[in-house]
Chains A and B, each alone.
Chain A
Amino acid sequence: MHILKSREMILTGAIVVLMGLVATRFPGFIAPHNLVAVFNDTSPLILLAIGQMIVILTKCIDLSVAANLALTGMVCAMINVAAPGVPVPIIIAIAVGLGAILGAFNGILVWKLDIPPIVVTLGTMTIFRGVIFLISDGKWVNSHEMSPAFKAFPRADFLSLPMLSWIAILMTVIFFVLMTRTTLGRSFYAVGGNPHAAVYTGIDVGKSQFWAFTLSGALAGLVGYLWVSRYAVAYVDIALGFELDVVAACVIGGIAISGGIGSIGGAVLGALFLGVIKNALPVVNISPFWQMAISGSAIIIAIAVNTRAGRTKGRIILKNAEAAQ
């Protein structure tokens, strides 16, 4: 436990140092209102990283999150255009429900057909994008076609934070409780940490993976609505390639790609680290050709620091014997 703690401390330190570096070039970056804006901008990434973390914990990976987000977002936008009167809470319920169904579809394929998760989600990623094209005919849903209430929700201020940020905070708390205090949450760790032992303790590995995909899908669906209403536009290619940012956020956050190790705190901090870089690059005035290289290097450095900190020393099982030597 203290190792996980220290990993999160290192990451927090890295984020603070990074913000300090940015502030030397652009002091306005660390102004409170800007930090709020950065957090708000990173909220979708935080939500998706939480879902992805659960999937990665169970030794799987979900590459279809961005496509799931885009499909759910398009469906929400089309519902809003067809029936502008549908209230936002119902839209959100539809988004979460549809996202969960799409995630469950991944889960079923992994659980019942035993197809490797990377193959399943690579396939569904393309399928979901294709379905968006089919239902939308390749057309955009534009800002003036959406109802004002539909667009207002993520921007609505509550205690001087936008709703988008509040949703990220709320989900972080809910999933923290789920992962640390419930049987389901602990079973994700067990399944990824040692699948064989998990089976002996009566945990169904496939079923746990199924639930991991469903949760990841539900979060992706939620973000689908938030994304479309925030940018006030829905089309086939929204959030194209975003799944890689999500996986990167998890890896930076110290979630082991081999499964079983990771925490909600890590995922959130990993997402924030990436979010700070993404928001800092436009204001520090660096050539766009350098930007990609810089953000890639930052990821690798963060991971290198992380794995060094997280390297477990051989476990001592016979303290007395060691002392006797």
Chain B
Amino acid sequence: MSVMKKIMSTAAVLAAFTASAAQAEDMRIALVVKALGIGFFEAAAQGAEEAATELGDVEIIYTGPTDTTAEGQIEVINSLIAQGVDAIAISANDPDAVAPALSRAMQRGITVISWDSGVAEEGRMMHLNPSSNPLIGNMIIKLAADHLPDGGEVAVLSASATATNQNIWIDEMHKVMGNYPGIEVVATVYGDDLADKSYREAQGLMQSYPDLDAIIAPTSVGIVAAAQAVADAGKAGEINVTGLGLPSEMAGAIESGASKSFAIWNPIDLGYSATMIAHALATGEATAEPGASIPMGRMGAVTLDETNSGAMADPFVYDASNIADFVDIF
């Protein structure tokens, strides 16, 4: 199995190598993903190609192991070092396991950044997060408020009462409530990321608050269950279910009208930004240091914090106009 994997990853790298030999003057940026064949990363590669076309002199090597293991990624990294690529942008399967191999790459003068799923600080120059907690907190209330110009009542349907991510996002949401006058958060309930409990909690919200205008669910199980409960209650269009969800899971809710829009990071933008950053660092246009601002083409610029990581942008909003393009991706 591991021999097979080695052959396959070597073959992938070799193929990329021979293809690139023709135009040796191009900068070669390797986009290393958790595993090949995952829609999310295929979309990121598409974004990387877009950036390459925009930059002109960049060639993208899209590669990764055949399954999501750190060992597989280390083999891929080693072949990339042997090939002498100019930059590696990686979404890591394990933050620590891949760090030594990446440190070696940096010693050989290769620019190394991580994106999506980070690498320990010593193993990369910087890390690009898809978004940040304040941006997500703001986005989930903005999604509801955008459809309520005259204000209204919204309720939050979270995962479990102890879920760290959700609690941080909800806290961040409450901090920016002042920017959304007229919007009132009437309740926060917990569906425990179980479809049946979330469904019941959504039903309970509709009963307890007959004037409810929106349900915000910053969890992918909750948003789907709430949308189903709203559609079953015949209140699609009346109560807008929004929050964080995946396009493939939310397509039905958008179609039924139970959800007008929802958000999650856009993998295309992520691949694009990672490539732009890798290019800027490799050419010396920018340096990765705390407080630095690195340009990302059409995505603006990312500002690094004290751990050399930064947030790309607001979560990307999906609605009836664009969901069809993403439904098969992730």
Contact = CB atoms under 8 A, between A and B. Distances in A.
Interface of A: 26, 28-29, 34, 37, 41, 140, 142-144, 146, 155, 227, 231-233, 237-242, 278-279, 281-283, 285, 288-289
B195 A288 contact: no
Interface stretch (B73-81, B89-97, B124-132, B200-208): B200-208
Interface string B181-204: 000000101100011110111011
B252 A282 contact: no
A144 B195 contact: no
A149 to B, nearest CB: 15
Given A233-B195, A233-B228, A239-B196, A144 B208 contact: no
Contacts of A282: 189, 200-201, 203-205, 208
B201 A231 contact: no
Contact of A143 (B200, B208, B228): B228
Given A34-B207, A231-B228, A144 B200 contact: no
Interface size class, chain B: 20 to 34
B194 A144 contact: no
Given A282-B189, A282-B200, A143 B195 contact: no
B189 A232 contact: no
B7 to A, nearest CB: 24
Given A26-B208, A143-B252, A288-B189, A231 B327 contact: no
B232 A155 contact: yes
Residue among B197, B204, B251, B327 with the highest chain A CB neighbour number at 10 A: B204
B249 A140 contact: yes
Contacts of A34: 207
Given A233-B195, A282-B189, A288-B161, A142 B200 contact: no
Nearest to A37: B203
Contacts of B194: 237, 240-241
Given A282-B189, A288-B161, A142 B251 contact: yes
Nearest to B189: A282
A164 to B, nearest CB: 11
Interface of B: 161, 187, 189-190, 194-197, 199-201, 203-205, 207-208, 224-225, 228, 232, 248-249, 251-253, 255, 327
A231 B199 contact: yes
Contact of A144 (B189, B201, B232, B327): B327
Interface hub of A29, A146, A237, A283 (most chain B Cβ within 10 A): A283
B142 to A, nearest CB: 25
Contacts of B249: 140, 142-143, 233
A238 B197 CA distance: 11
Nearest to B207: A283
Given A231-B195, A231-B199, A239-B196, A285 B228 contact: no
A244 to B, nearest CB: 13
B232 A278 contact: no
Nearest to B199: A231
A283 B195 contact: no
Contact of A142 (B199, B203, B232, B252): B252
B253 A143 contact: yes
Given A142-B248, A288-B189, A278 B161 contact: no
Contacts of B190: 288
16 contacts: A28-B207, A41-B203, A140-B248, A142-B249, A142-B252, A143-B252, A144-B251, A231-B196, A233-B228, A233-B249, A237-B194, A238-B195, A239-B196, A278-B197, A282-B204, A289-B161
B270 to A, nearest CB: 21
Contacts of B327: 144
B208 A285 contact: yes
Given A282-B204, A283-B208, A232 B161 contact: no
A227 B251 CA distance: 20
B250 to A, nearest CB: 8
Given A142-B248, A142-B252, A288-B161, A231 B207 contact: no
B210 to A, nearest CB: 9
A41 B199 CA distance: 10
Contacts of A140: 248-249
A291 to B, nearest CB: 8
A155 B207 CA distance: 19
Contacts of A143: 224, 228, 249, 251-253
A37 B229 CA distance: 12
A269 B200 CA distance: 20
